[in-house]
Structures are given as structure tokens and as C-alpha cells.
A and B are shown apart, each in its own frame.
Chain A
Amino acid sequence: MKRLSVLDAERCVGCQCCMFACSRRANSPGLAESCIGVRSNGGMERGFVVVVCRVCENPPCVRACPTDALVRTEKSGIRLDEAKCIGCGSCAEACVVGAVYWDSEINKPMICIHCGFCVDFCPHGVLGLKERRGLSHAG
């Protein structure tokens, strides 16, 4: 699969246009439904951290889900079966990078589907869609 990758976080200027793009794609203008996050690395002078799902080989979020609501797919990363999800938050706790975002309106997780919509709105070459081959250390 092609995976959304953080190609070079050092180029990130912290504009957060990717976050707005992600939420906009979900027909939710603003930031509520963004599955990507940009925050400063402890002060903007130190640059930024870009947090997005890495589609782990053996995803802790999937393993942590008590109702099997999360499934790792080859096409679009981790998918949620909303009907199964009870909103316990175990997936979010299990993700060490914090890439499981939370939709507080419906109390369910939001995870990047690797569609690449945000890439078009990153003017500084931080993000890209990359074919996944073996282990990757990007991001």
C-alpha cells in the first residue's frame, strides 16, 4: 500500500494546513476531524513534530481493542467498524506516538486512512505518499 509518510519533519513550518485539509476532506471544516497532528517540539524554535498513523506491522491499537472494531487493511491502513466500537479509548492509549485521534462528538477514534489528500496542501514537502517496502524509519 501507499502510506502517508513524514518525509522530512525538519521542513515543517507548523502551518497546520495538513490538519485543516484532513478535517475538510471529512466534510468537517475546522480541525475537529483531523487524523494528523502538528505540534511544536517543545517550543517552535525547535521545530515541529508531525504525528500520523504509521500502519504498524502488528498494530498495538488493533490488539488493544476489546471488541475487534479495528482492523489493519492493506489498502487504507487501520479501519474502524463504528458499530462494533464502544468508545473505550484503549486504542488511543495503546498508540505510543499518539496517532489515534479522538472524535469527541461521537466518542470514537479517528485514524488516518492514507488517502494523501493532505499531501496536496503541504507546500513545503514534509508529507508524501510512499510505497511501503519493509521497515520504514520515516516519521
Chain B
Amino acid sequence: MLDSDPLCNVLYVDLTRKRFRVEHRQDLFDSQMGGAGVATQLLAQECPQGCDPLGPENPIVLAVGPLTGLFPLASKTVAMFKSPHTGNLGESHCGGRSAVSIRMAGYGAIVITGRSELPIYLAVHGGEVHFRDASTLWGMSSSLTVGRIIREREPGSGLRTIMRIGKAGERMVTYSCVSVETYRHFGRLGLGAVFGSKNLKAIVVSGKRSLPVTSNRTYRRIYRDIHEAATTSPAMKKYHDLGTPQNVLPLNKLGALPTRNLREARFEAAGEISGEAYAERYLGRRLACSHCPVACIHIAALREPHETEPYFYKTSMISYDYEPIYAMGPMLGVGDPEGLLRLLDRAEVLGLDLMSTGPVLAWATEALEKGLVSDRETDGLNLQWGDWKTYLEATRRIVEQPNDFYAALARGVDYASSKYGGEDFALAFGGNEMPGYHTGPAAHVGCLMGARHSHLDNAGYSVDQKVLVERELSPEELANALIKEESWRQILSSLVICFFAREIYDRDTVLACLKSVGYDLDEEKLLETGLAIHREKFRFKKREGFSLDGLRIPGRILETKSPVSNLTEEYIRATLDHVGRVLA
């Protein structure tokens, strides 16, 4: 990296002592570049072995990369922490204005440790760090209100990010999320609960600065090429037009859309909740993350009549994406597009990870159906496929936790099924609920090996659809294919490049960008670094007790037919064995 680049500044914040300091870690950013690579190192350094994920010593690491603020689509922030959901490596990626704001404030990473006595929110404006009293914000019913209040009180409009938790994070639901700019999230693995455990309600970061490049002329030329590709490529256009829900219909057609707790892989009402249906009937606005010309964020405008008063309406703006649609739609048999939007809105207000909430409620529905639990446990709620009104209430109860059953649901399906049974249909991998891809063994092996955790975790869905539907791979070949692709994706997530732009940021483009900011690397070195980062994560996971051998494989994924026929436990275990050998 370039010596004058503020990227090497790591801001350390101690919430217990209300102190902060900045350290120059050029060594770290030189060797690991940023994002996932840097965050993995910082986590390993800051997180004491065996620490309680909800204890003060668990660090929150937020890292951006050398291309952030310079090139389009390099606008993700990688969060790392020990996950209260799995008790192991927690990784979550988020866009919005988060990455650009951290970079413009003059940092490459922020590390937060300790626990405040008083609820607080953190305000970082360039070099200033303020600990603000958040007692009034604590316990507020809607995370949207919290965002509005901070928006009005803090400076830096247009140049800031506001990360905040809802009640789910305060009550430490192990899959509570951190919402950013209202519609983006550090969704997976319970960063919200880690915030909550620290009495940290929100973080606002703002800044404005210039960044060094080796040559302005070369920089501008590379920039123009990337911008051109990003605005003309058909793949990006699709993300703009329909967004990620473009996947609903193809996955349904393929028979890979998990439905009713994956008892089926096709949903009869997919057409009602598809990207096309939402775009035609409800799309109210598109948004972009900072420095992304694509604008894939889709916001539905839902106009609801007041229940008792005539001519009185409320219009809610609700973000929808493929994974939330899968998790609260087909997975729960909900095909009513408006009911589904209400469920998404409820989770947004409470600050829950929808990708976990859906499979949790799906398991509960089936457990009730099979008599493993009764209406005594559900506290009178008769959970039934498609009944979104009851699911709305159940979502609220997961956060309120009025009894042991809901408290168990608030810890995920792994925990709930260990208590009440039904492990075969508790759809989680390594403790994290499944994403919406029943494409075949590669997707599931990818989740089990847990290379990235964020979003759908891995590129297995692509191996399933491009390779395994055509021909068989030996377990070794599959493991190698997954790890090879993952090595590259670790590079992308260390440069915090959005995965949607992976076709645009090919090897040559990445190398050219890196050169313009002072990294002289070649393809081989880059891939070596990617694999090394993957191995470092694996090392951390093993340190915290992870083992590929002991992983639970939910029987349901083997029972329900996927587009790939070779989906057996033996095949999955043999592949995992090989993964372990390569990563060790």
C-alpha cells in the first residue's frame, strides 16, 4: 500500500473505559490488503481464546479495503466477531454507506471492545470519537425511529453511515442483525446481539477526504473502464431492474427453492412473490450503496388501510431481496405478497436476521404439526404454513421471549431442536440456518465448511448448477473446486468488492486496481493470499472448537430431491474430509 494512505489507521475503541486510540498497522494492510484478510488477523489478535461471545472481551472488528472510496463497487464492510449464534467465527458483510464512510473518516478498520455501563452510541467523525448517551434510544420499539433520531442529531448528512440494532439485538437474540442506512444489514450470525451485549445501540461514522493513487491518469482510465462495464453489463442491469429476487423464478423452476421447511423444493405461489411480481406491483424506489452505479436495492411501497378508520392509510417502504423472500415466503409457505412484505417489515423493525428467522419458524411449524411441541409451548399460537398473521406475532415473540420455547427459538434451530427434538428437519449448517439454495451437495457442503458465512456463504450453488447437474465430481474434485473458487472470493472480500461485481473485477482488473494503489502483485501471489486467508479463518475456527467431523447434516436435505441426484451423506462427508485436509 502507499505510505500516505490512511487505510493503515486502525481505530481501537474501549467501551468500558470510554477510551480510544489509533494504531498504524501498515504491516497488516500490506500483507492482508483489507476486509476479510485484515479482519481475520485483528479478530485472532483481539479475541481471547474461548471467550464468551456476549462478554465484554469479544471484539467487533469492522474492516474496509484499499479500493474503497477509489473504485466503484468496492463498498462493503466486513464485520468479524465471535458469533453468539454458533460460538465460533462470526463474519458478516454489509454495504450501504458503511465502507465509504469508514474510509473517508480516515480508517481501514475499527476494533471495538469492552462493555459500557450505560447504553451508548458511538459517533466517529473523522478523527473525533464521541461516546453519546443512548439511554433514551434503548428499548425503543422500532429500529427505524432510532435511525431517524440519530440522523437528526448527528452531523455529516450524505457522508455518513448509521449502524444500529433493534430490540432483537438488545435482547440478544443470537441471530439479531445490525441495520445500516435502514435497508442494508450485517445480517448473519448475531452481530446485533454482540452490540447489545456491549450496551452499544449504534455507531455513526462520517468523513470526507482525498486518497492517494500512484498516477491520476492511470487511475482515471481504469476507473472509466470499470464504470463502463458496471453500467453496460447485462448481469448488472438485471440486478438493477429486478434485484436479487430475479432468482425466485429460476430457482423454483429448477426445483431448488426450499419450501415449507424444505419438504418441497418448488413453491406453487412463486409467481406471486417473484422479483417480477414485486417490481410490477410494489416497487417504490431503488437505492444504491455508496459508489455503486448499479443500485440493486429494491424498496416496495406497501399501502395499508387503517383497520378501523375509513380513508386512512399508512404507506411503508420495505426492502426486499431474494434471501428474505425465500426465508419468510416459500420456507413458511407464505405466498401472499403483502403478507410477506409485512413479515419483512416486522423483522426490519425488530432487527432480526431474516435468513435465520424463516428456518426457525419453519422448524417450529413442523415441530407443532408433528406434536413435538404443543400450543402450550407456542403460547397459544397455531403456526400453520402460509398463515403470515400468526408468523407476524411469532416473530415478535422470538424477541420478547415470553417463555422457554420462544427463548429457545431466539437461539436458533440447532439449539431449539436439541431441546425439543426434530433435528432431522432443523435446517442449519454448523449452527447457522440454511440459505435459500437447495441446488445440490456443493451448496450444502459449502455451508458446512463455512468459508465465509456472510449471506449464502459460498459459491457451491454455482458448482451445483454449472457442473454437477451435467456430470459427477469425485469428493476430492468437489472440495478442490469449492476451495479454489473460495480462494478468489476471499480476495474479493478482502478488497470488499461486492460479489455481484465479480465478473467485472476479473483477475487483470483487480491487479490493475491494486497496482494503482501501490500493491505490486501477480495472479499467483494473489491466489496464494486468498488461500492463506481462508486457512487463517479455518485456524481461528479450530482454535474455537470447530471440527468438520462432528457436523450435523440435517436429514431433510438428503430426503428432498434437488436438481443434482448425487446428494448423499457419504458424499458430503467424504468431500468435507478432503476440505479438512486441504485447509489444515
Contact = CB atoms under 8 A, between A and B. Distances in A.
Interface residues of A, number: 27
B291 A15 contact: yes
B208 interface: yes
Contact of B295 (A32, A45, A124): A124
B270 interface: no
A31 B219 CA distance: 15
B147 A30 contact: no
Nearest to B288: A15
Nearest to A10: B285
Contact of A27 (B181, B216, B223): B216
Given A13-B286, A42-B151, A29 B210 contact: yes
Interface string A84-110: 000000000000000000000000000
A29 B157 contact: no
B70 interface: yes
A121 B147 contact: no
Chain B contact-residue range equals: 35 or more
B434 interface: no
A119 to B, nearest CB: 13
Secondary structure of the A contact surface, majority rule: loop
Given A30-B104, A123-B231, 7 more contacts: A15-B289, A15-B295, A20-B69, A30-B210, A32-B208, A45-B182, A124-B293
A39 B213 CA distance: 27
Interface of A: 13-17, 20, 23-24, 27-33, 37-40, 42-45, 47, 121, 123-124
Contacts of B361: none
Interface string B516-552: 0000000000000000000000000000000000000
8 contacts: A16-B158, A17-B72, A31-B69, A31-B159, A32-B210, A38-B158, A43-B148, A47-B285
Given A37-B158, A38-B158, A30 B211 contact: yes
Nearest to A23: B210
B200 interface: no
B318 to A, nearest CB: 9
B38 interface: no
B322 to A, nearest CB: 19
A24 B291 contact: no
A84 B523 CA distance: 52
A52 B285 CA distance: 23
B223 A24 contact: yes
Contacts of B216: 27, 29
A24 B220 contact: yes
B376 interface: no
Contacts of B100: 16, 31
A116 B466 CA distance: 44
A17 B299 contact: no
B230 to A, nearest CB: 8
Nearest to A33: B210
A16 B157 CA distance: 13
Given A29-B213, A121-B227, A44 B208 contact: no
Interface string B223-250: 1000100010000000000000000000
A17 B293 contact: yes
B104 A44 contact: no
A17 B227 contact: yes
Nearest to B232: A123
B508 to A, nearest CB: 21
B104 A31 contact: yes
